[in-house]
Amino acid sequence: MKRHNRAVGRKSPKQLMRSKGKITIRKLPSGVRGLDEILGGGIPEFSFNIIAATPGCGKTTLAHQIAFANATAEKPALYFTVLGEPAWKMLRHQQQFAFFDAAKVGKAVRFINLSDLVLEQDLNVVLQEIIKQVSAANPGIVVVDSFRTVVRKAAVGSGELDMQSFILQLAQFLTGWQATTFLVGEYVEEEIRDNTLFTIADGLLWLWQVTERNSVVRKLQIMKLRGQATVPGLHTIRIGDNGLQAFSRTLGLTGSRTKPVEGRRLSLGIPELDRMLGGGIKEGDSLLVAGPSGTGKSALATQFIAEGLRNGESGIMAIFEERPEGYTHRAGTFGLRLQDAQRQGTLETLYLRPLDLSVDETMQEILDAIGRVGAKRLVIDSLVGFEMALAPGFRADFRESLYRMIGALTGAGITILSTVEVEDTFTALPFSHYAISFLTDDIIRMRYVEIDGQLRKVMVVIKMRGGNHSKDIREYVITDKGVVIIHPRQTDYARLSSGLPERIGRREEIAPEPKATQ
Amino acid sequence: MSQASPQMRDFAKRLTAHESKGNKSSQSKARVAFQVCEKLRPHIATLMGNAGFQGLLARALALASREAPALRALHVKADGSLAELDELEAQARPVDLAEEGVVLLTQFLGLLAAFIGESLTLRMVLQAHPKLPFNDLDDQRLAK
């Protein structure tokens, strides 16, 4: 026992090195929702960073958010303005955002205009003024906005070496003074190669504004951040009342719990369908319900949610086509009182129809709702509506985004039922237009078939990942109880999946819903 | 368009009254409101630069001149200070000069508040006058 304890207490040489010699870099909050996750935890303290973008991307707003999030009277933020947006206009605009705290202005956040100096003096004088102000204020955050105008002035008045020397001295001084620095500037990507500034900088945050057809989307990329593992790629950002909000491509689910391993089966609220699925849908699975309009996809989705509520599992319905009232009304006709659950806070209906959403923003809405109600079940009705709600620029990435979204949510243990509308072709049985079936664990296909002069409905379980399932094509009806699968068919048909079957045996049963006689 | 609300005029008066407490001579008391503007200059120029301050004061002077035509004799220098004030002071009665100064200060503060809001305007004023016994534009404590 003693020996065991010694072994536990002993550290390997690697661990020793880690515990003795390694510096832990403190990470400052960015003040931007979602950005810390993208940055790998926050902004490295004492780092020297560039916020670069073309006009209108939100550089100044981002810099303000960082300043206001970190500034205190003891460790203020110094915000040097240089020939960019006039400081008074900047204040006028920035105070519209919720993060702007007027009480901090002057003491915790101090604005200093360097325009006159930059216009009238050389770089050395500008540097000396920054040194003077920083030495006097002892700031935790320093922003120079726009640093690009300093560089432009230098290009006219000084040589390249002077400029490099200025940047190097500035970086060394500010880091030595234990300030975390942000140089804000208007740059285009081509400038990265030949610009010393980008070599010296520890962090490079690049913002984009992409116009596609009628919509504009803003994106952010952490091109560089020394000493920290950031989330790669382009992340959607949006400027709203709270300032910038970033939507990580990992959807904020890094490190969240993994899929449940117990393999519990969840009922869809339709006993016969549960049997077809081998006992229900596996917890943490993604189920795709595909079928043409009117086949009962939304009804099935409602029953799935309602069954969860009956079993104490909260739910979210993200609907993109039908109005929430329609949903609640239909559920009412099935005897399901969704409004009770909504009142109790165990069900939330998200009606998402703006036309310039990104998948990540939608995801954030859904994740927030999941967090609010502790949801175990999620309905997305429908993927077609979802795609239409996206900005055109995001539609090209719909499949990839959907892959990330479903993977992230099911990884977090949420069971998802998505619907997708497909046309019945009467020659084939497509699952969707998007070739997204690989994204889902399970697929149920609903379709119309013409039998004896009636357009009836059938469903079949196409796929059940990691489990056996019924291969039967089952007829169903939509009654005042919702989707009801009727007794197994006794009459044999061939080519049922084509929608135009041929009866190959004796007719053994009457139509499930009466035929018109007059 | 005038930016001067009665509330701002009252604020300017109270600010001038506070500033004049430290002044003993009747001569300098007449130009106290102008001194308030001058005292604000370095603080506001730190924020918006000399050019920004100069532009704001020049606009305030133009607006104030409609109400107090004698102010047309003044102009704002590039560094934001007022030129020809001594000449105006020599010609005007102290009581008139004092009133004209308040008109200018009212317009200047009104403009500043129109651009950056009353809250930040008050903070700027408090930076220049840290001992002000009020922290609200409507605060009546100074008037007592």
Interface confidence, given as ipTM, is 0.75
Q: Token pair for residue A478?
A: 């939509």
State the residue for tokens 């903070």.
B123
- Among A40-54, A139-153, A208-222, A496-510, the range with the most confident prediction by mean pLDDT is A40-54
Phi-psi region of A485 (alpha: psi -120 to 50; beta: other; left: phi over 0): beta
Q: Which of A53, A75, A76, A77 is nearest to A64 (CA)?
A: A77
pLDDT (tens digit, 9 = 90+) per residue, B72-100? Answer: 999 999 889 999 999 998 898 989 999 99
Of residues A102, A111, A116, nearest to B119 (C-beta): A102
pLDDT of A360 above 60: yes
- What secondary structure does DSSP assign to B10-58, as a single string? HHHHHHHHHHHTT---HHHHTTHHHHHHHHHHHHHHHHHHHHHHHHHHH
Of residues A89, A106, A113, nearest to B127 (C-beta): A106
pLDDT (tens digit, 9 = 90+) per residue, A266-321? Answer: 999 999 999 999 999 999 999 999 999 999 999 999 999 999 999 999 999 999 88
| Residues in A touching B136 (Cβ below 8 Å) | none
Q: Which of A149, A139, A141 is nearest to A43 (CA)?
A: A141
Q: How far is B78 from chain A (nearest CA, A)?
A: 11
Rg (CA), chain A: 30
Q: To the nearest whole percent, how much of chain B has pLDDT over 90?
A: 54
Q: Which long-range contacts (CB under 8 A, 24 or more apart) does B113-120 make?
A: B113/B3, B113/B8, B114/B3, B115/A88, B115/A89, B115/A91, B115/A92, B115/B56, B116/A88, B116/A91, B116/A92, B116/A95, B117/A91, B117/A92, B117/A95, B117/A102, B119/A102, B120/A91, B120/A95, B120/A102, B120/A105
Residue A331 is given by DSSP the state: H
Q: Which one is predicted more confidently, A358 or A175?
A: A175
Do A111 and B127 count as a contact with CB atoms less than 8 A apart?
A: no
Q: Can you give the pLDDT at residue A508?
A: 62
Do A95 and B117 count as a contact with CB atoms less than 8 A apart?
A: yes
CB atoms within 10 A of CB A140: 22
pTM for this structure?
0.75
Q: How confident is the model at residue B142 (pLDDT cuts 50, 70, 90)?
A: very low
Give me chain A's average pLDDT, please: 84
Enumerate residues 6+ apart whose C-beta is below 8 A from A388: A320, A355
Rounded to whole angstroms, the Cα distance separating A350 from A132 reads 53
B77 touches chain A (CB under 8 A): no
Do A89 and B117 count as a contact with CB atoms less than 8 A apart?
A: no
pLDDT (tens digit, 9 = 90+) per residue, A370-394? Answer: 889 999 999 999 888 888 877 776 7
pLDDT of A325 above 80: yes
Q: Lowest-pLDDT range, A163-167, A301-305, B102-106?
A: A163-167
Q: How far is A137 from chain B (nearest CA, A)?
A: 14
B119 touches chain A (CB under 8 A): yes
**Per DSSP, which regions of B82-129 are E strands?**
82-83
Of residues B47, B49, B56, nearest to A116 (C-beta): B49
**Total CB pairs under 8 A between chain A and B:** 51
Phi, psi values for residue A459, rounded to 5°: -140, 155
| Local structure of A462: helix, strand or coil | strand
